Structure 1
Amino acid sequence: MKYIVVIGDGMADYPLKELGGKTPLQGANTPNMDKIALNGVSGLLKTVPDNMTPGSDVANLSIFGYNPEKYYTGRGPIEAASIGAKMDEQDVAFRCNLITEKSGLLSDFNADHISTVEASEIIETLNTKFHDVGKFYLGTSYRHLFVTKKPNSANLISTPPHDVVNEPINNNLLKPSTDASAIELNNVMEESKKILENHPVNQKRMEEGKNPANMIWLWGQGVKPALPNFKDKYGVKAATITGVDLIKGLGVYMGLTNIEVPGATGYFDTDYCAKAKNTVDALEDHDMVFVHVEAPDEAGHAGDLEEKIKAIERIDDRIIGKLLDELPSFKEYSIAVLPDHPTPISIRTHTRDPVPFSMFSSNGESDTVNQYDEESVKNGVMGISWGYEFIEKFLNGSKPD
């Protein structure tokens, strides 16, 4: 049996007036997702516990079959594994966004999606200036990492930058503001503005009319997690296909194969067809593949309805459509589609609302749901369950308990 899980990051949403009260999933043309729902079973997953922040880290950890209340230690250390940053037990890894600061406000949480090439020069400068506090590691575009040997900093309260766009920087720095680690790291963030505002990379970007990456933002910190090996836990050999360090990092800790796909960018321009082709190829020597697409989440954060619908339709046509054509050659197979969390256009950030899922198995059953969206799946036979229960249900052949 072959298993494929297609994750459209942030794909779920709320009804919108622009769509006549429909959600983007309901408004998009998704015949292949609907085919999975029509011929399979559906339900809702609660991927984020009530006491946890609805981040992609928590939600995807849950989808991969690990209870986040038991295993989650922070997003930073997950991404550290992806980019090869080795962590000791006393190390704390922070996510490090390159942001745009204007007049004391957090103006742009991704600095106009600065290129990785440009970012590499900035990261090099930061390491020269702040080597006594910690080390910066190059990631992708605006997403990078900072590792420090300050164990107390793991307990600080940090704020996702995409949640405070156009809000005062001083109101959203690390807390408590009187903590010695917070004072030192907040100073690093504030000093980075002085260092980067006249950086050659930013001078050129401003000349080109782009937002400068003139400040760093530290958040999502944590210590190294200990996750059971996925194959030992579930009995199948699995792989990931993604353009995002978070998913790759989870793969490292779980013992999955991270398949590098040329053109997988983690943005609107990601190569959907290449992801589908590499998924089919990976099934030759893997039992399960997690295919992750970041584009719907990016569109949600940007409040861009047109791009969100395009991303959903491209997932449906270029990934799921291709897979449904190819999977019968494996005789026995199962495929599921779901988001990790909603990223509603109207609020531009994540929520912890339960997410819709549909899954079809060549050996499974079907229910009365005939299309894939947030409302239709509520009538599914799978009901509502915790996200970390999904993998066991999926491996059970899409049969209700």
Structure 2
Amino acid sequence: MKYVVILCDGMADEPLEELEGKTPLEAAHTPNMDRLAKTSEIGMVRTVPEGMAPGSDTANLSVIGYDPRKYYSGRSPLEALSIGAQMGEKDVSFRCNLVTLSEEEEAYEDRRILDHSSGEIPTEDAAVLIDALKKELERDGYRFYVGTSYRHLLIQKDGKVTELTAPHDILTKRIGEYLPEDPVLRDMMIRSYEILKDHPINVKRRQEGKNPANSAWFWGAGTRPALTSFEEKNRVKGAMISAVDLLKGIAVGAGMHNITVEGANGGLHTNYAGKGKAAVKALTEEGFDFVYVHIEAPDEMGHQGSAPDKIQAIESIDSQVIGPVADALKEAGVDFRMLVLPDHPTPVRVRTHVSDPVPYMLYDSTKEAAGKETYCERTGRETGVVIAEGYRMMDHLLGK
């Protein structure tokens, strides 16, 4: 038996008036999901434990089978694992987003976050901007590391974990109340605006009608994580396919293999088909028993507040990943179980994560379950099936 998870980041949503009371998942044309739904187990799963922040970090740890209450030590340390940044036991890492702030205000504190991703800035441009921050802001005990797109890292030697606000949680709000209390971090953020606002990269982005990456924003503080081996824990050899450093970092920490797909960028126009083909190859030719395919696009479109783009992302996943993977595995004569689900909802209306349970669909090529006509939030609730502790979903998928 082979196992595959198609993790559609942030896909779950709420009914929208502009979609005649449907969610983006309900409104999307998803013939492959609906085909599988007819013979699949469908239900709801709570991926974010009560009292914990609804992040992709806690939620994906749950889905991969690690109880966040036990294993979670912060988001950025997982990303540090992905990019090879070394952390001592007392070091603290911070996510360093390149964000777009409003520019008409006099004081930094009065500015507003317009875009947490700076228009999904390409990594090659972002690396130039991070290099500019390194030259001006690095000091003893603080080091910047380049990540992917707008997602980067700052590591503090012998630091202290402090509560910081995720930029996607305060879109359009005045930032003064959300700046770090730590004077060094606060000063770095203020100075980053002066360094970046008129950088040639940003001058060009404005000329092209794109959002400038005009400030650093620190959040997601944490210490070095310690995950147990996925293979030893589950007795299956696993691989991760993701364009996001967080997921790659979870894979590194769990001893899973990271598969890189050319053109996979975490955005709306990522290489969906390439991810699907890589998953099939891993399961049929490369000796892996389990593949986790993470697709960031629905989450990013939720943060952007765009229902049409979120629908497009969902339809692309259906047509270029879910359908082709299921069909290819069947044609190869492979028995498999496929789990399709979001990690958390990212409703278009609020443009940030929420901790509500999410719908899941579990398809088994060797069985015919009594399923539903469609897979969506509504049909997930209608079944009455609820997995209250998300980290137990992995055991359920593996038939333990």
Common fold, TM-score beyond 0.5? yes
1:172 matched residue in structure 2: 178
Q: Which stretches of structure 1, 4 residues or longer, exceed 6 Å deviation after superposition? A: none
User: Structure 1 residue 207: deviation in Å?
Assistant: 3.1
2:291 matched residue in structure 1: 289
2:47 matched residue in structure 1: 47
Aligned-partner Cα distance in 1 for 2:351–2:209: 24
1:325 matched residue in structure 2: 327
Aligned-partner Cα distance in 2 for 1:78–1:330: 36
User: Structure 1 residue 363: deviation in Å?
Assistant: 3.1
Q: Secondary structure at the match of 1:348?
A: coil
Q: For the structure 1 residues 346 and 382, does the alpha-carbon distance in structure 2 shift closer, same or farther, using more than 3 Å as the test? A: same
Q: What does 1:124-143 align with in structure 2 at a 5 Å threshold?
A: 124-132=131-139, 133-143=141-151
TM-score, length basis structure 2: 0.94
2:108 matched residue in structure 1: none
> Contact 1:230–1:256 (CA<8 Å) still a contact in 2?
yes
Q: What does 1:300-339 align with in structure 2 at a 5 Å threshold?
A: 300-328=302-330, 329-339=332-342
User: Structure 1 residue 204: deviation in Å?
Assistant: 2.5
User: Structure 1 residue 381: deviation in Å?
Assistant: 6.8
Per-residue Cα deviation, 1:52-84 (whole angstroms, up to 9, x for no partner) = 110101100000000001110110001111111
Pairing partner for 1:121 from 107, 125, 128? 128
1:81 matched residue in structure 2: 81
Aligned-partner Cα distance in 1 for 2:113–2:26: 33
User: Structure 1 residue 101: deviation in Å?
Assistant: 2.0
Q: For the structure 1 residues 172 and 381, does the alpha-carbon distance in structure 2 shift closer, same or farther, using more than 3 Å as the test? A: closer
2:186 matched residue in structure 1: 186
2:165 matched residue in structure 1: 159
2:118 matched residue in structure 1: 111
AA matched with 1:144: H
Q: For the structure 1 residues 330 and 87, does the alpha-carbon distance in structure 2 shift closer, same or farther, using more than 3 Å as the test? A: farther
TM-score, length basis structure 1: 0.94
Per-residue Cα deviation, 1:17-53 (whole angstroms, up to 9, x for no partner) = 1121111111111121122221121111100012111
2:229 matched residue in structure 1: 229
Identity %: 47
Q: For the structure 1 residues 107 and 382, does the alpha-carbon distance in structure 2 shift closer, same or farther, using more than 3 Å as the test? A: closer
AA matched with 1:296: P
More displaced stretch, 372-381 vs 337-346 = 372-381
Q: Secondary structure at the match of 1:39?
A: coil
Unaligned segments of structure 2, at least 5 residues: 106-110
CA-atom RMSD in angstroms: 1.4
Q: For the structure 1 residues 184 and 358, does the alpha-carbon distance in structure 2 shift closer, same or farther, using more than 3 Å as the test? A: same
Per-residue Cα deviation, 1:301-322 (whole angstroms, up to 9, x for no partner) = 1111111111111111111110
Aligned-partner Cα distance in 2 for 1:142–1:359: 33
Aligned-partner Cα distance in 2 for 1:219–1:264: 25
Q: How many residues are matched?
A: 389
Aligned-partner Cα distance in 1 for 2:368–2:385: 11
Q: For the structure 1 residues 137 and 213, does the alpha-carbon distance in structure 2 shift closer, same or farther, using more than 3 Å as the test? A: same
AA matched with 2:174: P
User: Structure 1 residue 364: deviation in Å?
Assistant: 3.6
Alignment of 1:378 with 2:381, yes or no, is: yes
User: Structure 1 residue 209: deviation in Å?
Assistant: 3.1
User: Structure 1 residue 365: deviation in Å?
Assistant: 4.8
AA matched with 2:122: S
Q: Secondary structure at the match of 2:388?
A: strand
> Contact 2:98–2:151 (CA<8 Å) still a contact in 1?
yes
2:59 matched residue in structure 1: 59
AA matched with 1:291: V
Q: Secondary structure at the match of 2:377?
A: coil
1:147 matched residue in structure 2: 155
2:27 matched residue in structure 1: 27
AA matched with 2:295: V
Q: Secondary structure at the match of 2:65?
A: coil
Q: Secondary structure at the match of 1:95?
A: strand
Per-residue Cα deviation, 1:300-348 (whole angstroms, up to 9, x for no partner) = 1111111111111111111111012111224311111000000111111
Q: Secondary structure at the match of 1:5?
A: strand
Q: Secondary structure at the match of 2:98?
A: strand
Unaligned segments of structure 1, at least 5 residues: none
> Contact 1:8–1:292 (CA<8 Å) still a contact in 2?
yes
> Contact 2:12–2:344 (CA<8 Å) still a contact in 1?
yes
AA matched with 2:153: L
AA matched with 2:383: G
Q: Secondary structure at the match of 1:216?
A: strand
> Contact 1:41–1:365 (CA<8 Å) still a contact in 2?
no
Aligned-partner Cα distance in 1 for 2:146–2:155: 11
1:351 matched residue in structure 2: 354
Pairing partner for 1:391 from 357, 379, 394? 394
Aligned-partner Cα distance in 1 for 2:309–2:156: 37
User: Structure 1 residue 142: deviation in Å?
Assistant: 1.0
Aligned-partner Cα distance in 1 for 2:172–2:31: 39
Q: Secondary structure at the match of 1:94?
A: strand
AA matched with 2:146: L
Q: For the structure 1 residues 183 and 41, does the alpha-carbon distance in structure 2 shift closer, same or farther, using more than 3 Å as the test? A: same
1:205 matched residue in structure 2: 205
Aligned-partner Cα distance in 1 for 2:208–2:313: 28
Alignment of 1:249 with 2:257, yes or no, is: no
User: Structure 1 residue 151: deviation in Å?
Assistant: 2.2
> Contact 1:109–1:161 (CA<8 Å) still a contact in 2?
yes
> Contact 1:242–1:292 (CA<8 Å) still a contact in 2?
yes
Per-residue Cα deviation, 1:177-196 (whole angstroms, up to 9, x for no partner) = 3xxxx111111111111222
Aligned-partner Cα distance in 2 for 1:21–1:205: 37
